[in-house]
């Protein structure tokens, strides 16, 4: 059970759209006078707040409520329209939902127990609600504590590179929302469960339906202070949004990217009172209570460098001291990994006039997605994918910023999917530990880029129409890699992994619908088609082998 030493009371109000929405209010036990307010909003039913934060209850994302009550804050937990105790029809992360939260914020600000200063709180969907509400500019909303939340629903998680996610959508929509409501004897208000699923699956392009639920397009309307906290372990769901949120808002802003390497790790971190005491509480204290605690003197950007285990600071994202490093794909075998091709990554561009890697799918040895198992039942996640591995690095090198894979590819089909992972092979010899440091996705028929938003190191695909490819013709595909920060020490390697489907073990729950793919794809890496991996690199002070 969650230990909160006060009982909430319920409030209700009618939104501008006519829906009666409800929220639970928790006040400090011995409060005297009005309190600043933290508000969290989700479809996860405020009545379920009794459950503890644990990976079996991934929707418990409030944070340590008691800490904030002890610090003199009121905490408001709202059911968004059409969910829990709130009436209406659930239209998840739509602008109308943000407007309903806006109306609740203004209602709360007028109560006699409130000072009128409101901040928003919570991770994942609660963070979606923060971006979504802030774009509507509630006058009483003074700051965001945006931990672990996407901003572009289409690109960040629903259709990676144009490919529909499958396992997460099923687990989230049916497990965390619909089934939980039915178990509680409730229904998604207004019904329409089948219509909701149908809408998600049929809006496969970035159309008006998608844009309504993507705050990304209005982030420049947010001018209140924003603390955006991303988690490396959520790179396949929320992380990209924390970066774009930081980059596009107009007010005072800070970006922190933390170390947990899994979904469960992010939830554990967010439930930890000491994490809040060091990172989020000072932010709220300054902006909601006026406490002069120096929080605005913190660096604008702090990121945990994977492979080093330390935080590094910057003034911008990407850091303003980065340069671009290029690694070219080669068919020459690296001799260090068992994979379909065991290719290599080189610093120099290829000289050969005809070099390519071809493979056919579905692979007969795939068992859990791309993962296979040996005779002892030990899983192997790369044996049946294509890999390109570097030589051991001759010095320490840090890659922090953006990345892009420029892949020249062809197929005997009219479309092809490309799923990319970048892995740090940390350590040496028998102690090598693979650490996924970035990933990316692209469906070839979605290769067109938005000229206004794309850049050399960050392709922004338009996803406005489907453009089939001509079988046998080579196309240049630019695959955006999720932002990264990692240190490759002298003697360590990096590895690029390419396939058209996921591992059901290492990539869950953000796996993709396989569909009806049968064919042969070819990745070209010759002088005419110089496929390459391009990464932002930050300078390092070289301390030799003792580092």
For the segment 348-365, what is each residue's pLDDT rounded down to a tens digit? 999 988 899 999 999 999
The pLDDT of residue 189 is 55
- Spatial distance between the Cα atoms of 85 and 189, rounded to a whole number of angstroms: 9
The pLDDT of residue 171 is 77
pLDDT above 80 for 165? yes
The pLDDT of residue 547 is 39
- Spatial distance between the Cα atoms of 77 and 85, rounded to a whole number of angstroms: 11
pLDDT above 90 for 110? yes
The pLDDT of residue 185 is 75
For the segment 184-223, what is each residue's pLDDT rounded down to a tens digit? 777 665 555 667 778 888 999 999 999 999 999 999 999 9
The pLDDT of residue 431 is 82
Q: What number of other Cβ atoms are within 10 A of residue 115's Cβ?
A: 17
- Spatial distance between the Cα atoms of 472 and 465, rounded to a whole number of angstroms: 22
- Please, are residues 534 and 397 in contact by the beta-carbon 8 Å criterion? no
Helices (H), 30-183: 65-70, 95-109, 125-134, 153, 167-170, 180-183
Residues 6+ apart with CB under 8 A from 495: 337, 345, 382, 387, 388, 389, 390, 422, 423, 425, 434
Record the pTM.
0.95
Helix (H) or strand (E) holding 281: helix 281-289
Residues 6+ apart with CB under 8 A from 207: none
For the segment 52-70, what is each residue's pLDDT rounded down to a tens digit? 999 999 999 999 999 999 9
Q: What is the mean pLDDT of residues 367-381?
A: 95
For the segment 404-451, what is each residue's pLDDT rounded down to a tens digit? 999 999 999 999 999 999 999 998 877 889 999 999 999 999 999 999
Query: What DSSP character marks residue 29?
Result: T
For the segment 446-500, what is each residue's pLDDT rounded down to a tens digit? 999 999 999 999 999 999 999 999 999 999 999 999 999 999 999 999 999 999 9
Q: What percent of the chain has pLDDT over 90?
A: 88
Q: What percent of the chain has pLDDT over 70?
A: 97
Residue with tokens 């840090």: 398
The pLDDT of residue 192 is 57
**Domains defined for the chain, CATH in brackets:** 9-298 (3.40.50.1820), 323-540 (2.60.120.260)
Q: What is the mean pLDDT of residues 158-179?
A: 84
Using alpha carbons, select from 465, 359, 466, 373 the residue that is nearest to residue 419. 359
């Amino acid at each position: 059970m969650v230990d909160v030493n006060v009982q909430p009371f319920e409030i209700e109000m009618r939104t501008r759209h006519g829906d009666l929405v409800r929220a639970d209010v928790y006040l400090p036990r011995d409060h005297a006078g009005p309190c600043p307010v933290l508000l969290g909003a989700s479809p996860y039913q405020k009545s379920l707040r009794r459950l503890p934060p644990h990976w079996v209850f991934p929707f418990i994302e409030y944070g340590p409520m008691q800490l904030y009550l002890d610090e003199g804050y009121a905490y408001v937990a709202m059911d968004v329209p059409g969910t829990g105790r709130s009436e209406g029809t659930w239209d998840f992360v739509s602008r109308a939902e943000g407007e309903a939260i806006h109306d609740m914020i203004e209602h709360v600000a007028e109560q006699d127990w409130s000072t009128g200063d409101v901040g928003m709180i919570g991770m994942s969907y609660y963070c979606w609600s923060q971006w979504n509400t802030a774009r509507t500019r509630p006058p009483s909303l003074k700051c965001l504590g945006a931990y672990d939340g996407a901003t572009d629903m289409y690109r960040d998680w629903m259709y990676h590179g144009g490919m529909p996610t499958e396992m997460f959508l099923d687990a989230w929509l049916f497990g965390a929302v619909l089934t939980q409501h039915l178990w509680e004897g409730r229904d998604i208000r207004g019904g329409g469960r089948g219509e909701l699923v149908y809408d998600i699956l049929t809006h496969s392009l970035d159309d008006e339906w998608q844009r309504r639920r993507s705050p990304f397009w209005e982030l420049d309307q947010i001018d209140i202070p924003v603390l955006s906290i991303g988690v490396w372990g959520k790179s396949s769901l929320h992380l990209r949004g924390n970066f774009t949120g930081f980059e596009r808002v107009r007010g005072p802003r800070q970006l922190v990217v933390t170390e947990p390497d899994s979904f469960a790790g992010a939830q554990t971190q967010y439930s930890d009172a000491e994490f809040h005491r060091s990172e989020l509480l000072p932010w709220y204290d300054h902006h909601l209570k006026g406490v002069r605690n120096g929080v605005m003197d913190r660096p604008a950007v702090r990121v945990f460098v994977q492979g080093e285990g330390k935080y590094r600071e910057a003034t911008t994202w990407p850091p303003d001291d980065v340069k671009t490093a290029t690694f070219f794909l080669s068919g020459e075998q690296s001799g260090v990994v068992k994979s379909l091709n065991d290719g290599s990554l080189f610093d120099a561009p290829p000289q050969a006039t005809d070099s390519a890697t071809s493979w056919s799918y579905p692979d007969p040895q795939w068992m859990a997605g791309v993962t296979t198992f040996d005779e002892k039942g030990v899983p192997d996640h790369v044996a049946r994918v294509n890999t390109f591995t570097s030589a051991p690095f001759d010095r320490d090198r840090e890659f922090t910023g953006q990345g892009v894979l420029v892949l020249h590819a062809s197929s005997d089909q009219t479309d092809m999917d490309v799923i990319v992972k970048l892995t740090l092979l940390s350590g040496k010899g028998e102690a090598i530990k693979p650490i996924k440091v970035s990933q990316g996705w692209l469906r070839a028929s979605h290769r067109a880029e938005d000229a206004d938003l794309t850049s050399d190191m960050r392709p922004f695909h338009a996803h406005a129409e489907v453009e089939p490819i001509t079988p046998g013709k080579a196309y240049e595909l630019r695959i955006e890699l999720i932002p990264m920060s990692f240190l490759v020490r002298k003697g360590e390697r990096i590895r690029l992994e390419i396939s058209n489907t996921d591992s059901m073990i290492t990539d869950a729950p953000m796996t993709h619908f396989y569909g009806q793919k049968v064919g042969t794809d070819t990745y070209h890496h010759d002088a005419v088609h110089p496929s390459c991996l391009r990464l932002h690199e930050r300078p390092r002070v070289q301390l030799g082998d003792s580092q």
